[in-house]
Amino acid sequence: MRHRRPSSARPSVNGLGRRLKRGKVRPGGCCGAEGQRARMVRSLYSIAAVSKNMGIGKDGGLPWPPLRNEFKYFQKMTMTPTQEGKQNVIIMGKKTWLSVPEEKRPLKNRINIVLSKELKEVPQGAYLSRSLDEALELLESPELANKVDLVWIVGGHSVYKAAMDKPIHQLLFVTRILHEFESDTFFPEIDFEKYKLLPTYEGVPTDIQEENGVQYKFEVYEKSI
């Protein structure tokens, strides 16, 4: 299968050594025919800010006012690898990619992969894959296999759901916005029989945050296999 390469140079590697649970990789297949095509990751990391009514987006943006510190949290978590000299991957759908201001794309210091069956042109500075499985397979390519550390899912709904349904170890980093906001895009339902709320997680604050009149808190859920 041929994968499309980015049309500009990759951002430089961020060498910070924040201690997140490490997403290890081993070759091989997964359960089912579709899974056998994909790179076998041991962990996927999803991160999202979610309102009380499960909203994550409105009209191509966020439903709530700008939350600078929450965005810094997103940046720090997704940007910081556990191994010096490697980069984290962020995987997103086309709408999520387009919601990022053009001058901010690609998101720096991370390998950006956009999922779309419609795009004909490779997004500048990113890779293009047709599905999550194809994106994970891309990470096994000679070009990327030795560069990748953690694999982060950053939206939108269908990409989160595809990741959350995979039968592998997962961590969900959910920012709970403690208000309802009108939304047109929503986070998938979390199966709390499978995903357990962790009482603490290193580096994640446990107290309620507030900025711009909006209260929120950080949560981490784990699905063990």
Which is catalytic among the residues 62, 67, 132, 138? 62
84 in catalytic set: no
Residue 210 annotated among the catalytic residues of the structure:
no
172 burial type by CB count under 10 A (0-12 exposed, 13-18 middle, 19+ buried): buried
What is the Cβ-side half-sphere exposure of residue 85, based on CA atoms within 13 angstroms?
2
- The DSSP code sequence of 76-97 is HHHH--SSTT-EEEEEEEHHHH
From the list 70, 128, 136, 144, the catalytic residue is 70
> In degrees rounded to 5, what are phi and psi of residue 130?
-90, -15
Contacts for 106-109: CB closer than 8 Å, 24+ residues apart: 106/6, 106/11, 107/78, 108/11, 108/79, 109/11, 109/12, 109/13, 109/14, 109/79
Cβ atoms within 10 Å of 111's Cβ, excluding its own: 27
> Which residues are catalytically annotated?
62, 70
